[in-house]
């Protein structure tokens, strides 16, 4: 590892290289100063001549100069070799040039001018001229030599960099260099237990060898973003007493072909030399994707890197006492050879934390923050169903920022609620809307809430708001009552009905349709399609009618696979989806018509307060009936 020092200067830390790099920097600055000085010496006479009396004077012919001297217009003359500088009585300055072997006294006699009547001085510049001539020859040569010196130096340094491309860029964390431990990890108890065993394997290998157990070659962490995969790896680095090499999958790749495989060899060589040790590869899907699906073919740089990693993990060369830990949120893209036993023996799945896990995560991230005594962590855990560990940490941080912005000394439940909404939907926006737009938005959100409230399988409405956030003009928040794993057909149908409640309210109240329901329609159609093609909840029966298409956070498909069904079956699928959506929409309209008076009351309260929580809403519509 390079010797890195930290120097505190003007309140900031500046990273300086080690001793050799520092000497090279001083040497490089020295040559820069020398080159700058030579350039100044070379161009200085030129600039000085521009602003000297000669540079500012007017040139005249020698015959005219002699005429002016004869007519006694000239006050003083200075002779410098062949150049004459004439200072006139009116203050003007002119220059003239005589022949090289012609004396000034002879010129005066030829012009019938007595030399004694002229005030002139002769300046000898033979030595200055000689020095100037020498510098005019040496300076260009010196400049060219300095130029070629820096070119050669840069080429030498570039060649050294080329040979260093193949070296591993992994960061080494020795014992005591990582402060995160397993105590800082919560909500993923099963995964933590698996990795605790890996650490114990390295700390107490004799205990396992005595009974005939083999040390696992590797463990791979699967899970969505934000659940704590990298945090677990950092905890392993903090718990273990062995060298820990951390590297991202993208760091293997480089512009030059073969660099990735070379870096893989160098990484495993360093780990074997430091055995027992751990290698952590984050986002391994950058290099571990299934081979043969690319456009380049078998000699793709990424595939060469993957082949080298496969050999290093389990090839002819023994790989004892080196454990590889990897993390990815796209496990479906990994090559099967990478996942087989003998390479990654343990597949550790991480999911969104349950209620107990969320409470534990909240307590960890609450350390160092000041909360009011009335904050109930159990209620916050219920409120944050579907939040990852990263979401919870961000929520508490946003709550602390909100409290500080409002000059509060502690964080209260209102700050946490606002932060939770901000994390999922974005900050509140004060958009200028007409009265008609506000009224339409109010009835739209009230329609969602009313339909949801009167559907027996739906969870209670937690919050209704017409404050714009993100891309929406309002929202109706309906958190799950618990960590539900299964969804029944009736509950899915009622979810579609609740999604269409906003459009139903618009049509009932305004006898019109607006574009504000586009996202609701998209989600309802997607859920109805899932019922038909994936869940088997239609008259077509329990058949997987794919294709499987994943969606990003903005609701757009990540990729598209061609349909594996006939056109006739596709028509049946479309008809089933249409039937489901139309049936749910009719149910939503019936509820809106039946509860029109309550809908008007909720809309009126929303226009006045903009946001209604569960208590405010249930004061108008009553308590939700037990399911």
Catalytic positions are 445
If one counts every other C-beta atom within 10 angstroms of the C-beta of residue 370, the result is 11
Q: Classify the C-alpha dihedral 183-184-189-191 as positive or negative.
A: negative
Q: Are 330 and 285 in contact (CB under 8 A)?
A: yes
Report d(CA 265, CA 271) in Å as an integer. Answer: 10
Between CA 327 and CA 336 the distance in angstroms is: 16
Contact residues for 246 (Cβ-Cβ < 8 A; gap 6+): 170, 171, 172, 173, 233, 237, 280, 282
Residue 280: phi and psi, rounded to 5, are -115, 125
Of 182, 181, 176, 184, the residue nearest 368 (C-alpha): 184
Secondary structure class of 114 (helix, strand, coil): coil
Contact 171, 247 (CB under 8 A): yes
How many other CB atoms are there within 10 angstroms of residue 14's CB atom? 10
As a whole number of angstroms, the distance between CA 182 and CA 197 comes to 12
Cα gap 66→59, rounded to integer Å: 13
Q: State the pairing for strand pair 277-282/322-328.
A: parallel
Written as six digits, the tokens of 99 are 């022949």
On whether the CB atoms of residues 403 and 372 are closer than 8 A, the answer is: no
Smallest CA-to-CA distance from 439 within 471, 464, 466 is with 466
CB proximity list for 423: less than 8 A, separation 6 or greater? 387, 391, 394, 395, 398
- DSSP category for residue 245: E
Query: CA 509, 513, 516: angle at the middle one, nearest 5?
Result: 105
Q: CA 497, CA 270: separation in Å to the nearest integer?
A: 60
Closest CA to 381 of 458, 483, 465, 487: 483
């Amino acid at each position: 590892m390079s010797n890195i020092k930290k120097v505190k200067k003007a309140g900031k830390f500046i990273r300086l290289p080690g001793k050799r790099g520092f000497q090279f920097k001083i040497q490089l600055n020295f040559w820069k100063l020398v080159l700058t000085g030579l350039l100044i010496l070379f161009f200085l006479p030129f600039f000085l001549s521009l602003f000297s009396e000669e540079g500012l004077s007017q040139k005249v012919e020698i015959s005219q100069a002699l005429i002016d001297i004869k007519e006694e217009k000239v006050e003083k003359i200075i002779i410098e070799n062949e150049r004459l500088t004439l200072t006139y009585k009116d203050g003007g300055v002119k220059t003239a040039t005589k022949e090289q072997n012609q004396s000034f006294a002879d010129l005066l006699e030829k012009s019938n001018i007595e030399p004694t009547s002229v005030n002139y001085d002769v300046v000898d510049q033979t030595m200055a001229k000689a020095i100037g001539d020498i510098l005019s020859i040496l300076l260009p040569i010196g400049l060219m030599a300095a130029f070629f010196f820096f070119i050669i130096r840069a080429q030498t340094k570039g060649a050294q960099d080329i040979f260093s491309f193949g070296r591993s860029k992994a960061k080494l964390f020795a014992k005591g260099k990582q402060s995160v431990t397993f105590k800082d990890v919560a909500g993923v108890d099963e995964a933590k237990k698996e990795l605790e065993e890996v650490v114990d394997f390295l700390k107490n290998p004799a205990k396992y060898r005595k009974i005939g157990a083999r040390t696992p070659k590797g463990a791979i962490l699967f899970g969505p973003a934000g659940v704590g995969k990298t945090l677990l790896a950092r905890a392993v680095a903090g718990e273990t007493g062995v060298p820990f090499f951390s590297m991202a999958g993208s760091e293997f790749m480089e512009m030059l072909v073969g660099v990735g495989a070379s870096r893989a060899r160098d990484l495993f060589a360093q780990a074997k030399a430091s055995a027992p040790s751990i290698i952590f590869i984050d986002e391994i899907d950058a290099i571990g994707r299934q081979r043969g699906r690319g456009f380049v073919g078998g000699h793709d740089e990424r595939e060469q890197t993957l082949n080298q990693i496969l050999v290093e993990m389990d090839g002819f060369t023994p790989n004892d006492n080196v454990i590889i830990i990897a993390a990815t949120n796209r496990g479906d893209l990994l090559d099967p050879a990478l996942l087989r036993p003998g390479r990654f023996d343990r597949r550790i799945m991480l999911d969104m934390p349950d209620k107990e896990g969320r409470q534990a995560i909240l307590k960890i991230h609450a350390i160092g923050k000041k909360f009011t005594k009335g904050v109930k962590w159990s209620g916050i855990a219920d409120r944050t169903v579907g939040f990852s560990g990263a979401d919870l940490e961000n929520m508490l941080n946003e709550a602390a920022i909100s409290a500080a912005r409002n000059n509060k000394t502690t964080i209260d439940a209102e700050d946490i609620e606002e932060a939770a909404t901000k994390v999922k939907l974005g900050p509140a926006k004060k958009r200028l809307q007409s009265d008609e737009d506000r009224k339409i938005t109010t009835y739209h959100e009230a329609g969602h809430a009313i339909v949801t409230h009167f559907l027996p399988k739906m969870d209670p409405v937690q919050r209704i708001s017409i404050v714009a956030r993100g891309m929406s003009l309002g929202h109706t928040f309906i958190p799950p009552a618990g960590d539900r794993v299964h969804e029944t057909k009736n509950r899915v149908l009622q979810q579609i009905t609740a999604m269409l409640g906003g459009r139903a309210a618009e049509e009932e109240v305004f006898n019109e349709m607006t574009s504000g329901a586009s996202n609701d329609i998209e989600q309802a159609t997607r859920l109805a399609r899932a019922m038909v093609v994936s869940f088997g909840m239609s008259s077509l029966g329990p058949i997987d009618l794919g294709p499987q298409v994943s969606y990003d956070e903005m609701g757009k498909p990540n990729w598209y696979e061609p349909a594996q069904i006939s056109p006739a079956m596709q028509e049946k699928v479309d008809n089933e989806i249409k039937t489901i959506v139309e049936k749910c929409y009719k149910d939503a309209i019936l509820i809106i018509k039946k509860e029109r008076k309550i809908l008007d009351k909720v809309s009126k309260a929303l226009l006045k307060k903009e946001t209604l929580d569960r208590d405010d809403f249930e004061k108008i519509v009553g308590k939700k009936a037990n399911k």
